[in-house]
């Protein structure tokens, strides 16, 4: 079983920055693909960014490319999402998720492909 705990959300003005963290329990964190998703009120959960187990491969939603950066520190069992140039439309609850399937290589954008989820952290961007 894997537990994921997000932190770092908050209220920020448009153009500002936040860094989200997701701390994971378990010894096999370094073998998981990790993803960040978000869900705004009345909308479906959407993919934001993902990172391979080694950190060498990343994938981003078009809406955040060039503004957000995903990274991980396997020694600390933590994945990060650096968010710059934030916009009001980035307002949402942000979730981290782990794809724990064995030997998976592709970073999925589909929420259903992820096995474990955190409780979420609210990000609010004011205009």
Question: What's residue 27's pLDDT?
Answer: 74
Percent of the chain with pLDDT over 70: 100
Look at residue 28 and tell me whether its pLDDT is greater than 90.
no
Kindly tell me if the per-residue pLDDT of 104 is higher than 80: no
| Distance from C-alpha of 53 to C-alpha of 70, rounded to nearest angstrom | 12
Task: Reply yes or no on whether the pLDDT at 19 is more than 90.
Answer: yes
Going by C-alpha positions, the residue among 91, 104, 2 that lies closest to residue 48 is 91
**Helix, strand, coil percent values for the chain (each to nearest 5):** 5, 45, 45
Question: For the chain, how far is it from start to end, CA to CA, in angstroms?
Answer: 40
Q: Pull the structure tokens for residue 76.
A: 């600390």
- pLDDT tens digits, 56-89: 999 999 999 999 999 999 999 999 999 999 999 9
**38 neighbors 22 (Cβ within 8 angstroms):** no
- The tokens describing 97, both together, are 């998720």
Average pLDDT, the chain: 95
Q: Which of 28, 17, 65, 39 is nearest to 122 (CA)?
A: 39
Looking at residue 98, its pLDDT comes to 96
Mean pLDDT of 40-47: 97
Q: What is the model's pLDDT at position 38?
A: 98
């Amino acid at each position: 079983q894997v537990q994921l705990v997000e932190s770092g959300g908050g209220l920020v003005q448009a153009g500002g920055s936040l860094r989200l963290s997701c701390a994971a329990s378990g010894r096999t964190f370094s073998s998981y693909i990790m993803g960040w998703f978000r869900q705004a009120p009345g909308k479906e959960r959407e993919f934001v960014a993902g990172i391979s187990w080694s950190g060498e491969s990343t994938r981003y939603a078009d809406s955040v490319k060039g503004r957000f950066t995903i990274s991980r520190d396997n020694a600390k069992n933590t994945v990060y999402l650096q968010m710059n140039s934030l916009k009001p439309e980035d307002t949402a609850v942000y979730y981290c998720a782990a794809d724990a399937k064995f030997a998976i290589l592709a970073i999925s954008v589909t929420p259903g492909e992820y096995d474990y989820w955190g409780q979420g952290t609210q990000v609010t961007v004011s205009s």
